Structure 1
Amino acid sequence: MSLSSACRRTVAVAAGVTALTLGLALPALAHVTIDPGSAEQGGFTKVAFRVPNEKDDASTSKVEVAFPVDHPLSFVSVKPLPGWEVKVTEGKLPKPVATEYGEITEAVTKITWSGGKIEPGQFQEFEVSMGALPKDTDHLVFPATQTYTGGEVVKWDDEPKADGSEPERPAPVLKLTPAPAEGDGHGHGHDPAAANPAAGPSSSATAAAPSVRSLAATGDTGHTASSDGTARLLGGAGLLVGLIGTVVGVLGLRRGGRAS
């Protein structure tokens, strides 16, 4: 084998290794995701938008998440995050949307977190409680925009592909699954108060509490009634014995007086 042939083979092998390394590294690139990635249709849920920092020489300084306007959410609340300022933007919808809570003409369209930093090699989670989730779609898309301290802006807004493959800049997607039918052995439905504290106590918790109290009260009352009855019986018997003793004593005194 000539020297030139050996050089060409070495270059080809090196190029192949480089291509293979890059090919394996590309799917590993981190992007903005939503966790958990699924929730029940018609319910409330709490999610975290997970944002990793992909840069070695810059920090993430701002994160924006757009909310769907074709399937608007009636209730949205944000968990405070130390070191970050949050701005919830509401806007008029392109057209009114009918929901079980009435017709919606305005809704949350964007949430922006700024003022903090996600350093290289770190990630941050931004938590949001929201609902009621629509029942007429199987997913919601939340396009995100990530801004770095160096001025670079990365948009994670690619819609899911029909073939299931991942796009170059995938947007966070929340998959929606049908709620289990009542009586199928999979629970009693979703509790809005668990994800949305403003919704107040759940009816299931309210209904269960009296049952527990009733059982406890019934047990205690039965025991107390039995003890009181026994005490009264013994007290009455003692009183009767004392009365008989008194009568016997009086009669004895009278007999003694007559004898003398």
Structure 2
Amino acid sequence: MSFVRRAATVLAAATALTAGLALPALAHVTIQPGSAEQGAFTKVAFRVPNERDDASTVKVEVAFPTDHPLAFVTVKPVPGWDVKVTEGKLPAPVKTEYGDLEEAVTKVVWSGGEIKPGQFQEFEVSMGQLPKDTDTLLFPTTQEYSGGEVVKWADAPKADGTEAEHPAPALKLVPAAATTTAPSASPAAAPAAASPSVAPVAAESSSDGTARLLGGAGLVVGVIGAVLGALGLRRRSA
């Protein structure tokens, strides 16, 4: 019995330790989905969980990259929240497919709402055109609580691959998928592919001809029978 109790205690401790290690990662501000195609337009959501048990999140500020600015940024309204989109002059003009970009969205701020303890909120943004000369875009985010606490999610990824204490939401950019075209059929394969569809048509045509022939013969027999019947009636009457 004591062995069972000890095993249960060890299992409970391991579970608590695992949960304790996993919770911080789950509480990070993230961007969903975490990847998009280079050169495309995309819609993402900044997912903001509330980490505190005694305060609510009342303000979220997301900074947009200026080294790889986005020419088009629109936001989806969130019930109960006010949103302000700020544009600013870039440190240097950036060449895009739409010309030199000198101003772009530098930050988006949501305020006036509330993310209560144990809850999260997603703030959706449509943006583009995504750059083709980088594989990651960082969106440093500031989270403000009702008690006055401010948490900055602005740490860049570590070189050794380990997670930073307060990582900035990151959007991974992947090369655009190559357009695939259906392989053209070879001349030798074309007749073989066509033969199954041609054969039933030929069979159908022959069967139609046979049916028409039998129908015509039946019509002739019917006419002959009618004539003979008429002659028989005349003889009887005579």
TM alignment of 1:21-100, pairs within 5 A: 21=16, 25-29=20-24, 30-100=27-97
Moved more, 79-88 or 156-165: 156-165
CA distance in 2, matches of 1:150, 1:116: 14
Whether 1:106 aligns to 2:103 is: yes
Find the residue that maps to 2:103 and give its secondary structure.
strand
Find the residue that maps to 1:43 and give its secondary structure.
coil
CA distance in 2, matches of 1:141, 1:121: 26
CA distance in 1, matches of 2:164, 2:158: 7
CA distance in 2, matches of 1:58, 1:168: 21
CA distance in 2, matches of 1:60, 1:103: 38
CA distance in 2, matches of 1:182, 1:60: 44
Find the residue that maps to 2:20 and give its secondary structure.
helix
Deviations 1:136-156 (A, max 9, x none): 000100000000000000000
CA distance in 2, matches of 1:23, 1:159: 25
CA distance in 1, matches of 2:168, 2:101: 25
Whether 1:148 aligns to 2:145 is: yes
Cα 1:184/1:67, change in 2 over 3 Å? farther
The alpha-carbon deviation at position 184 of structure 1 amounts to 5.7
TM-score, normalised to structure 1, is 0.62
Find the residue that maps to 1:176 and give its secondary structure.
strand
Cα 1:184/1:42, change in 2 over 3 Å? farther
CA distance in 2, matches of 1:110, 1:179: 27
Find the residue that maps to 1:169 and give its secondary structure.
coil
The alpha-carbon deviation at position 91 of structure 1 amounts to 0.5
Gaps spanning 5+ residues in structure 1: where? Answer: 1-13, 186-260
Identity %: 72
CA distance in 1, matches of 2:92, 2:181: 37
TM-score, normalised to structure 2, is 0.68
Query: Which of 162, 173, 178 is the aligned partner of 1:176?
Result: 173
Counterpart for residue 157 of structure 2: 160
CA distance in 1, matches of 2:112, 2:57: 10
The alpha-carbon deviation at position 165 of structure 1 amounts to 1.3
Counterpart for residue 130 of structure 2: 133
One-letter amino acid of the counterpart of residue 177, structure 1 = V
CA distance in 2, matches of 1:45, 1:38: 10
CA distance in 2, matches of 1:184, 1:132: 25
Find the residue that maps to 2:152 and give its secondary structure.
strand
CA distance in 2, matches of 1:22, 1:70: 41
Counterpart for residue 188 of structure 1: none
Deviations 1:159-213 (A, max 9, x none): 111222111001100000000123367xxxxxxxxxxxxxxxxxxxxxxxxxxxx
